[in-house]
Amino acid sequence: MSERDADVPDEAEETVRVRFVVNGRKVARDASPRETLVDCLRTTLELTGTHAGCEMGACGACLVQLDGRAVHSCLMFAVQADGAAIDTIEGLSESGAISDLQAEFHRRNALQCGFCTPGMLVSAHELLSQTARPTRDEIRDALSGNYCRCTGYEAIVDAIEAVAKARASASCEDGGAA
């Protein structure tokens, strides 16, 4: 190795300090500038509910909530999430935010192998947080970025529609508007 090469830092060893809140817990760690958020969540933080599927943002298996919006964690670097609030499927489950969706997916057999289910639930959660009573077409549109090779989608659409109706009914009973 020449003297010139010795003065150049090894890019593989460069890291950046990132801080974010994951599932309500503050996290600070060193990340490679090229480490994807999905790899950081799965490997470093051991939150394996977020799946790395196509790694091109087409399948939806890697969806997480970043500052309240669903994002493909395979398409962003961990350093891009610095300062953000991230909710993974584990956090949404533990908080109870999607317990009715999970129960309805189970009841209607809207999951089979389970690989796509976390991303489907994140998409459904985002949709229902924005639209209280989506139509079946709106549900299908919201799921258009999620691939499922097992269920054929109808049971998933049925489950989301049933939860939307139940939430609207509960809201009316509590005095809210549907």
pLDDT at 173: 79
DSSP letter string over the chain?
--HHHHHS--GGG--EEEEEEETTEEEEEEE-TT-BHHHIIIIIS--TTS---SSSSSS-TTEEEETTEEEETTSSBGGGGTT-EEE-HHHHHHTTTTHHHHHHHHHTT--SS-SSHHHHHHHHHHHHHH-SS--HHHHHHHTTT---SSS-SHHHHHHHHHHHHHHHHHHHHTT---
Low-confidence ranges of the chain (pLDDT < 50): 178
pLDDT at 150: 87
pLDDT at 178: 46
pTM of the model: 0.87
pLDDT at 66: 98
